[in-house]
Structure 1
Amino acid sequence: MTAPTPPSARAVGSAPSAPPTLVRDYGDPATEYAALRTGALLVDRSHRDRWTLRGAKARETLTGLVTNDVAALAAGHGCYAAALTPKGKIIADVRVFAIDGGTAVPPSVDGVRTWLDDVALVVDVPARAAEGWGGMLKKYVNPRLAPYARITEQVRAFGLYGVHARDALAAAFGTPPSALSQLAPYGHATLTSGGEALLVVRVPDLGLDGFEVLVPASAFDAAWARVAGAAPGIVAGGELAYAIARVEAGYPEWGQDVDDGTLPQEANLDELRAISYTKGCYTGQEVVARIHFRGHVNRHLRGLAYPPDGTPVPRGAQLLDEEGRVVGDVRSSMLSPRLGGVALGMVRREVPLGAVLTARWSSTPEDGAAGDGAAAGATADDPRFRTERGVTVGPLPFPL
């Protein structure tokens, strides 16, 4: 069987070259995207930041830093959560995986120590949020009580998503498909490949069945090739196909859709089960609880649909209502082969679902929108270079 490989001089089945970089696509993003519903999409996710926490106080410590109840996680389970500023703004949205339940040491592979030995928690962080997350750990975590380490260079990751992801991953590593089916969202299992421990996590971020595999960097190429050749229909893909599916599923990307000026409820993190309203205190809790129990936010991340017209509506485009008032802005924006133009937008709460807004943005003469007759000194505010497109506000996720 020939393993799917991006067009390159690499050997068949070989992994993306290190150091990890974001690859937009491998030449055919439509086919890569289609694999989500016909087979499985294989994507390098090594660009994200990864951390471990150890020690008896690790779970208690992290619970005091994030919005979800890490202390309540049983071994083998995980959660989505956010770390906040004291004013309740998002420093990072993170995925937390409980390895040992705070007590037992995971078994070594064939008697050899692995990267998971003695680890209490693994935390997976968006690349753009890495600096803020690392700064928060340094500020609030006593390393003598809960030793932490950044393992991004030592441990890489890839994801397999789509209708056949479970069966292909099970075949690659010789585990029953039922063992993967039983995993809850962000639940995980430890598998082995070439004498190395792999952490296999079930992730819901694309609205389809999906798994991400955390693997020592030295074993990454072999693990990638093993999965790539496990079954027909596996397609190696880039960030574009992944991002289209993420937008359709309504999952925000830190630094793109949300940042440290965004409240968790504005980003729909309560609907995405990233917030516990019954756990103990954490940084920023007072603001989050006050919004939930006594108030509301004035804007929400919404879905925006628009007719495809060559290029996506750009990030940062203003959203105007029928009276010309600015009621929001566009965040991630994609052209979906299945749904047409899709975007995430931060929209004021009074704008109803189904409303048609105008997305407006400006293209400067340097962008090539001015034509040969562009006047000298024209600016991005010049109405001659203004572009508008109608968008329809809808709920998230988009129809999957």
Structure 2
Amino acid sequence: MTLALLPNRAVIRVGGPEAQHFLQNLVTSDIDSVSDTSGGYGALLTPQGKIQFDFLIYKSGGTYLIDTPRETASDLLKRLTFYRLRSKVDLELADDTLAVLALWGSDKDVASALVSVADPRLEDLGRRIVGPADAIAEELGTAPEGPEAYHAHRIALGVPEGLEDYAYSEIFPHDAGLDQLNGVSFSKGCYVGQEVVSRVHHRGTARKRFVLVESAENLPAMGTDVTADGKSIGTSGSSTALGDVHKGLALLRLDKAKAALDNGTPLFCGAAPVSVSLPAWAGFGWPQDAAAE
């Protein structure tokens, strides 16, 4: 069992009689599926369909809790306030007594937590917990690790996160795997950017995806070019050292990566030689005709 404290995450409370309706018409996920025992994952998009903010969503009583990067939490709160208009919705940034934690290697529920739910993105990520960190650690009988432990766990599973693996307002939900990780509802009504997302999904035109990269050498910072024959085929995300192996994520053009693999062309992330593979959860594959392109 591993418990990790995530001080780089903040919580925004969304309450009021119209909170559900407000969020349902705004974000990519289906808010109807979010309950006191089941969380959600989604994003607020730009009108052009790019990810402006990504987050996890929980429900505690009649209030929704948005678990989002602390670095941009104030910006998200301002954006939600902009969209609120005359809706009967209360918005506030929770104080630091409300901590975000991740738990894996145990499915134990946590009575001292305000929220304790399975991570809605992927079962193997474990549980997501919101509440008083000291009380939660005492109840579980373990001292929490730092965020590095969680990110190593997440990276090994191939799950990207905003700001850790990509900058906001630059990529589309399909690029970041939201369609694969329960982050987009294709059956609910309209939301900001919905037309673009729906068009990409139904036309099957998603060409870039996050994949796993591995190297015997240190992997460079996010945004470094991944190259084949000296030409960029994508950029790197976050990375971690797991023993003698360095693993990371990279957003690649699948057709160009597959063509390089078929042709035996070495791939590099910066100066580090890398191998690439698809995450185990991926419902997409390598393009079959990539070598011919």
**Shift in alpha-carbon separation, 1:90–1:132, aligned structure 2, 3 A:** farther
Counterpart of 1:54 in structure 2 is 15
Deviations 1:55-77 (A, max 9, x none): 22111100111111113445532
Any residues of structure 2 matched to 1:207-286 within 5 Å, and which? 208=124, 210-216=126-132, 220-227=133-140, 229=141, 234=142, 236-258=144-166, 259-286=168-195
Q: Secondary structure at the match of 2:114?
A: strand
- Conserved in 2, the CA contact under 8 Å of 1:51 and 1:122? yes
Deviations 1:161-211 (A, max 9, x none): 22xx22xx45xx6xxxxxxxxxxxxxxxxx3x4xxx632122266763622
Aligned-partner residue type, residue 275 of structure 2? T
Selected match of 1:305 from 187, 201, 214: 214
Using the TM superposition, give the Cα deviation of residue 224 of structure 1 relative to its aligned residue in structure 2, in angstroms: 2.0
What is the CA–CA distance in structure 2 between the aligned matches of 1:398 and 1:274, rounded to whole Å? 14
What is the CA–CA distance in structure 1 between the aligned matches of 2:135 and 2:28, rounded to whole Å? 36
Any residues of structure 2 matched to 1:85-104 within 5 Å, and which? 85-100=46-61
**Shift in alpha-carbon separation, 1:270–1:97, aligned structure 2, 3 A:** same
Q: Secondary structure at the match of 2:256?
A: coil
- The question of 1:67 aligning with 2:20 is answered no
Greater C-alpha Rg: 1
Q: Which runs of 5+ in 1 are unaligned?
A: 1-39, 101-118, 174-190, 362-387
**341-350 or 119-128, larger mean C-alpha shift:** 119-128
- The question of 1:128 aligning with 2:36 is answered no
Paired residues in the alignment total 277
Counterpart of 1:316 in structure 2 is 223
Normalised by the length of structure 1, the TM-score is 0.63
**Shift in alpha-carbon separation, 1:247–1:140, aligned structure 2, 3 A:** same
Aligned-partner residue type, residue 60 of structure 2? I
Using the TM superposition, give the Cα deviation of residue 389 of structure 1 relative to its aligned residue in structure 2, in angstroms: 2.4
Counterpart of 2:251 in structure 1 is 346
Using the TM superposition, give the Cα deviation of residue 252 of structure 1 relative to its aligned residue in structure 2, in angstroms: 1.2
**Shift in alpha-carbon separation, 1:46–1:315, aligned structure 2, 3 A:** closer
What is the CA–CA distance in structure 2 between the aligned matches of 1:51 and 1:65, rounded to whole Å? 15
What is the CA–CA distance in structure 1 between the aligned matches of 2:163 and 2:125, rounded to whole Å? 25
The runs of 4+ residues in structure 1 deviating greater than 6 Å are: none
Deviations 1:197-245 (A, max 9, x none): 63212226676362233224xxx42332232x2xxxx564222221111
Q: Which runs of 5+ in 2 are unaligned?
A: 283-293
Counterpart of 1:396 in structure 2 is 279
Using the TM superposition, give the Cα deviation of residue 317 of structure 1 relative to its aligned residue in structure 2, in angstroms: 2.5
Counterpart of 1:326 in structure 2 is 232
Aligned-partner residue type, residue 223 of structure 1? I
- Structure 1 vs Structure 2: percent identity of aligned residues? 26
Superposition RMSD in Å: 2.6
Q: Secondary structure at the match of 2:210?
A: strand
Q: Secondary structure at the match of 2:211?
A: strand
Normalised by the length of structure 2, the TM-score is 0.84
**86-95 or 127-136, larger mean C-alpha shift:** 127-136
- The question of 1:287 aligning with 2:230 is answered no
What is the CA–CA distance in structure 1 between the aligned matches of 2:57 and 2:269, rounded to whole Å? 38
